[in-house]
C-alpha cells in the first residue's frame, strides 16, 4: 500500500484498503475557523448532541475576518468563542494568538505523521507535508465529525510525482507547484491523492513542503502527501510531545500514475488571471503592470518566504503607484520576522505590514481590488472576484517574484534584479 | 422526479464565483441565495427562482470548501446540479445539505440552455423534454441516496442517533 492507503486502513481498522473502497475512518484532529465554524456550530446544535466527541481533538482558529472588520464578523467570532468555552475546547486561537489556521496547525504540533486530519477549509491538504492524511470538508460534515469522531472516505487512487534536480537561484517550491498545476490542469487530480517524492522533495524545507501540499487542491486533489523523513521528524518533535506512528509507502505500493520531473531548468512561474492552471514561465509573459502586490496567506506567508522577499527588497523602494501588503502566516512567524528585522526592510521599502490574518487572499478585507486593478499575489487562487471586484485580475507567483514586481511596478523575473 | 429548466455553465466553475468571499459572513440561506452565482451572473437568482437544473462542465464547484456555495444555489431555486465532474468537497457539501448532484458524462453536449429537464435520481436517468431524448448519469450509491432522502446529513444523523 502507499502512505495514503496505509493511513486510511489504519484509521478505519482494516488490514488493507484499495482505491474506490469506501471506509469509515476515525479522525485524529479536526479544525475549523471563523467562516466555516459558525455553520458547523449551527449544524451541531441541530443534530442535538450535547457534547462534542472529544474536546482535545478539536482546534478552532479565528483567522479569516481577523481582526473583525464588521459587526457581523465580530458576532461570528463571539459565537465561536462561546462554543469553545461551552465545549471546553482549549485549542482555541483568538485574534493575535495564532494566525492562519494552516500555519498554526503544524506550528502548534497538531499535525503529526500518520494522522488523519480533517479541516473545514479546502487548504487542509497542506498538512500532508508532514506525512498526515489531511483533507478539507464542509461545515455540516464537520458537525458530523464533532458528533461522532468519524467520517466516510472513498480511498483515492494516488498519482506519485517524483522530482529531481536543484532549484536555480530565486526559484522556489511555489514555482514548482505552479508548474505542476499548469501541467496537470485544474481537474487533473480530481478525487485523487498526490504523493510528492524524489531528491528535490527530500532536500526541501518544511516551509517549502507545506507550500507544495497546500496547493494540490488547485488541481482537484483530495490530499497531497510527503513521506516523513528526518526533516519531518525533527520539525514535529520540536513542536509536540504527543506520540505518533510514522507511516511510509511500501516498496511495492501501487499508484495510478508515476510522473518524473527534473527541475534543473525550471524558471520562475506565474499563474495568470483568471485560473490557477493558466501557468506560464515568467520569460513567456507579456508585460503586465501591477497596482498591488500581496505577500502572505497559508501558501506563502512563512518565515522562509518573508526572508526571501526581504533579501530582494533590502535597501530598495516599492515603485511609486504600487502598494504592497505583507502579512505573516502566523503570530509566531510575525515575532520571528520582527526579531530578524524583516519588517524594517518591508516598511522602509514602503510596504504595509500587518499581524497575521487571511486578509485579502479571499477578498474578505484588508486590500481588496477595484475594477480593472491588477494584483500579483503569493497566495493560492486567482479566480474571478477572488480578491475583490470581479473585474480585477490576480496573478499568482512566488514571494520573491511578488517582491521583485513590487519594486518595478510590473511582473518581474527576480533574477533580472541581480547586480 | 425533479423537473426544471436547464441553466448551463462551463468548466471549472469555482465556489468564489458561486458565492463570493465577501458574503461568507452570512449564514441565513435566504440572504445567501440573493448572491448565488454573483461572480458570473448577478441575474442568476431571478433565473433560478421558479426551479432550475444546472448543467455544467468539468470540475464544478472547485476551490474553497465553503458550504455557503451549495446552500446559496439550493435556496435560489436550484433543484439539482448535473455536471461532467465535480470538485469533491462541493459534491459532498451539496449532498450533506440536501442538494442532489449527479455526475453526468456528456451533459454539456446533451443539454442546451433553457431545455426542460426531468431527473430521476434513483435511476440516474435524465430526460431532456425539449429534445425528446434520455440519457444516463452515474447512479448515486445507496448510502448517498439515503442521506438525500432524509433531507441531508443533519436529518440523517438525527434519525440514526435516536
Of B22, B65, B97, the CB nearest to A36: B65
What would the pLDDT profile of A45-91 be if each residue is shown by its tens digit? 999 999 999 999 999 999 999 999 999 999 999 999 999 999 999 99
Strands (DSSP E) found in B9-151: 52-56, 78-83, 101-103, 116-120, 125-128, 133-136
Output the pLDDT for position A419: 62
Task: Please tell me whether residues A47 and A20 are part of one structural domain.
Answer: yes
Task: Please tell me whether residues A49 and A138 are part of one structural domain.
Answer: yes
Domain contains A82: yes
Mean pLDDT, rounded, for A103-125? 98
Instruction: List residues bridging with A396 in a β-sheet.
Output: A271, A377
Domains of chain B: 2-161 (3.20.19.10)
Task: Please tell me whether residues A280 and A236 are part of one structural domain.
Answer: no
Output the pLDDT for position B161: 84
Interacting residues of B27 by C-beta distance below 8 A, sequence separation 6+: A38, A39, A42, A76, B68
What would the pLDDT profile of A215-226 be if each residue is shown by its tens digit? 999 999 999 999
Rounded Cα–Cα distance for residues A142 and A52 (Å): 11
Rounded Cα–Cα distance for residues A377 and A395 (Å): 6
Rounded Cα–Cα distance for residues B48 and B143 (Å): 29
Instruction: List residues bridging with A326 in a β-sheet.
Output: A295, A353
Of A124, A140, A275, the CB nearest to B154: A140
Domain that residue A401 falls in: 273-417
Task: Please tell me whether residues A210 and A284 are part of one structural domain.
Answer: no
Mean pLDDT, rounded, for A390-401? 98
Which of B62, B59, B104, B64 is closest to B80 using CA atoms? B104
Which of A274, A332, A206 is closest to B17 using CA atoms? A274
Kindly state the percentage of chain B with pLDDT values over 90: 97
List all residues of chain B from 101 to 140 with a beta carbon under 8 Å from chain A.
none
Task: Please tell me whether residues A256 and A364 are part of one structural domain.
Answer: no
pLDDT band with cut points at 50, 70 and 90 for residue A196: very high
Q: B59, A36: Cβ pair inside 8 Å?
A: no
What would the pLDDT profile of A366-378 be if each residue is shown by its tens digit? 999 999 999 999 9
CATH classification at residue A31: 3.30.499.10
Task: Please tell me whether residues A131 and A205 are part of one structural domain.
Answer: yes
Looking at A261, A285, A309, which one is the last position of a domain?
Answer: A261
Domain contains A335: yes
Q: B154, A275: Cβ pair inside 8 Å?
A: no
Q: How many CB atoms lie within 10 A of CB A64?
A: 26
Which of A358, A380, A3, A105 is closest to A216 using CA atoms? A380
Rounded Cα–Cα distance for residues A277 and A107 (Å): 29
Strands (DSSP E) found in A284-363: 292-295, 323-326, 352-353
Nearest 5 degrees, angle CA A3-CA A150-CA A249? Answer: 5
Say if B157 is an interface residue toward chain A (CB within 8 Å): yes
Mutation pick from A48, A64, A80, A187 vs chain B, by most beta carbons of B within 10 Å, is A187
Say if A364 is an interface residue toward chain B (CB within 8 Å): yes
Output the pLDDT for position A28: 98
Mutation pick from B16, B26, B94 vs chain A, by most beta carbons of A within 10 Å, is B16
Q: B66, A222: Cβ pair inside 8 Å?
A: no
Kindly state the percentage of chain A with pLDDT values over 90: 99
Domain contains A163: yes
Looking at A203, A235, A261, which one is the last position of a domain?
Answer: A261
Domain count, chain A: 2
Mean pLDDT, rounded, for A16-29? 97
User: How far does chain B reach from its first CA to its final CA, in angstroms?
Assistant: 30
Whether the per-residue pLDDT at A331 is higher than 90: the answer is yes
Q: B17, A42: Cβ pair inside 8 Å?
A: no
Rounded Cα–Cα distance for residues A180 and A163 (Å): 11
Output the pLDDT for position A418: 78
pLDDT band with cut points at 50, 70 and 90 for residue A324: very high
What would the pLDDT profile of B5-62 be if each residue is shown by its tens digit? 999 999 999 999 999 999 999 989 999 999 999 999 999 999 999 999 999 999 999 9
Task: Please tell me whether residues A284 and A231 are part of one structural domain.
Answer: no
- The answer to whether the beta carbons of residues A379 and A358 sit under 8 Å apart is no
Q: A363, B22: Cβ pair inside 8 Å?
A: yes
How near does any CA of chain A get to the CA of B69, in Å?
10
Say if A288 is an interface residue toward chain B (CB within 8 Å): no
* Residue the block writes with cell 523602494: A317
Of A137, A140, A368, the CB nearest to B97: A140
Residue in chain B lying closest to A33 (CA): B66
Cell of A74: 465580530
Residue in chain B lying closest to A361 (CA): B21
Q: What is the mean pLDDT of chain A?
A: 97
Backbone angles phi, psi at A384, to 5 degrees: -55, 125
Give pTM, 2 decimals.
Answer: 0.97
Cell of A81: 468563542
Which of A42-46, A411-415, B21-25 is the least confident region?
B21-25
Task: Please tell me whether residues A184 and A299 are part of one structural domain.
Answer: no
Q: B16, A386: Cβ pair inside 8 Å?
A: yes
Residues of B in contact with A73 (CB under 8 A): 25
Task: Please tell me whether residues A241 and A328 are part of one structural domain.
Answer: no
Task: Please tell me whether residues A245 and A197 are part of one structural domain.
Answer: yes
Amino acid at each position: 500500500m502507499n502512505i495514503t492507503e496505509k493511513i486510511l486502513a489504519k484509521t478505519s481498522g482494516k488490514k488493507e484498503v484499495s482505491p474506490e473502497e469506501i471506509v469509515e475512518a476515525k479522525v485524529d484532529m479536526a479544525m475549523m475557523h471563523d467562516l466555516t465554524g459558525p455553520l458547523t456550530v449551527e449544524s451541531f446544535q441541530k443534530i442535538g448532541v450535547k457534547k462534542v466527541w472529544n474536546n482535545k481533538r478539536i482546534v478552532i482558529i479565528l483567522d479569516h475576518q481577523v481582526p473583525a472588520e464588521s459587526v457581523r464578523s465580530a458576532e461570528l467570532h463571539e459565537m465561536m468563542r462561546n462554543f469553545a468555552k461551552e465545549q471546553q475546547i482549549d485549542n482555541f486561537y483568538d485574534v493575535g494568538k495564532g494566525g492562519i489556521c494552516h500555519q498554526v496547525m503544524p506550528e502548534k504540533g497538531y499535525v503529526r505523521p500518520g494522522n488523519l486530519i480533517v479541516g473545514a477549509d479546502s487548504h487542509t491538504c497542506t498538512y500532508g507535508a508532514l506525512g498526515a492524511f489531511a483533507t478539507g470538508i464542509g461545515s455540516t460534515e464537520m458537525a458530523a465529525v464533532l458528533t461522532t469522531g468519524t467520517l466516510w472516505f472513498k480511498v483515492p487512487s494516488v498519482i506519485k510525482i517524483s522530482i529531481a534536480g536543484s532549484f536555480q537561484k530565486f526559484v522556489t517550491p511555489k514555482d514548482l507547484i505552479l508548474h505542476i498545476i499548469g501541467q496537470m490542469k485544474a481537474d487533473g487530480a480530481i478525487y485523487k491523492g498526490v504523493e510528492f517524492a524524489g531528491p528535490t522533495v527530500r532536500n526541501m524545507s518544511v516551509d517549502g513542503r507545506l507550500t507544495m501540499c497546500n496547493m494540490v487542491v488547485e488541481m482537484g486533489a483530495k490530499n497531497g502527501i510527503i513521506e516523513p523523513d528526518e526533516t519531518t521528524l525533527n520539525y514535529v518533535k520540536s513542536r509536540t510531545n504527543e506520540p505518533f506512528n510514522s507511516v511510509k509507502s511500501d516498496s511495492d505500493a501501487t499508484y495510478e500514475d508515476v510522473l518524473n520531473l527534473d527541475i534543473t531548468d525550471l524558471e520562475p512561474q506565474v499563474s495568470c488571471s483568471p485560473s490557477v492552471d493558466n501557468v506560464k514561465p515568467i520569460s513567456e509573459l507579456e508585460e503586465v503592470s501591477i497596482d498591488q502586490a500581496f505577500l502572505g496567506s497559508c501558501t506563502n506567508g512563512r518565515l522562509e518566504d518573508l526572508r526571501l522577499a526581504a533579501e530582494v527588497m533590502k535597501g530598495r523602494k516599492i515603485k511609486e503607484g504600487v502598494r504592497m501588503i505583507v502579512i505573516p502566516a502566523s503570530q509566531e512567524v510575525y515575532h520571528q520576522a520582527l526579531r530578524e528585522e524583516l519588517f524594517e526592510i518591508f516598511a522602509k521599502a514602503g510596504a504595509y505590514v500587518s499581524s497575521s490574518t487571511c486578509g485579502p487572499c479571499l477578498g474578505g478585507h484588508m486590500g481588496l481590488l477595484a475594477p480593472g486593478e491588477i494584483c500579483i499575489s503569493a497566495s493560492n487562487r486567482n479566480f474571478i472576484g477572488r480578491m475583490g471586484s470581479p473585474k480585477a485580475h490576480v496573478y499568482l507567483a512566488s514571494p520573491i517574484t511578488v517582491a521583485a514586481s513590487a519594486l518595478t511596478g510590473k511582473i518581474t523575473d527576480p533574477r533580472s534584479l541581480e547586480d | 422526479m425533479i423537473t426544471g429548466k436547464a441553466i448551463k455553465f462551463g468548466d471549472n466553475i469555482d465556489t468564489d464565483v458561486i458565492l463570493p468571499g465577501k458574503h461568507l459572513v452570512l449564514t441565513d440561506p435566504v440572504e445567501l441565495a440573493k448572491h448565488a452565482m454573483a461572480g458570473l451572473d448577478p441575474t442568476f437568482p431571478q433565473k433560478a427562482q421558479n426551479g432550475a437544473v444546472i448543467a455544467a462542465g468539468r470540475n464544478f464547484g472547485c476551490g474553497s470548501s465553503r458550504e455557503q456555495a451549495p446552500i446559496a444555489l439550493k435556496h435560489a431555486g436550484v433543484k439539482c446540479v448535473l455536471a461532467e465532474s465535480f470538485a469533491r468537497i462541493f459534491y459532498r457539501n451539496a449532498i450533506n445539505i440536501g442538494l442532489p448532484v449527479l455526475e453526468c458524462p456528456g451533459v454539456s453536449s446533451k443539454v442546451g440552455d433553457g431545455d426542460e429537464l426531468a431527473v430521476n435520481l434513483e435511476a440516474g436517468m435524465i430526460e431532456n423534454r425539449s429534445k425528446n431524448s434520455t440519457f444516463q448519469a452515474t447512479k448515486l450509491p445507496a448510502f448517498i441516496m439515503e442521506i438525500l432522502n432524509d433531507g441531508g446529513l443533519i436529518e440523517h444523523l438525527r434519525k440514526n442517533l435516536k
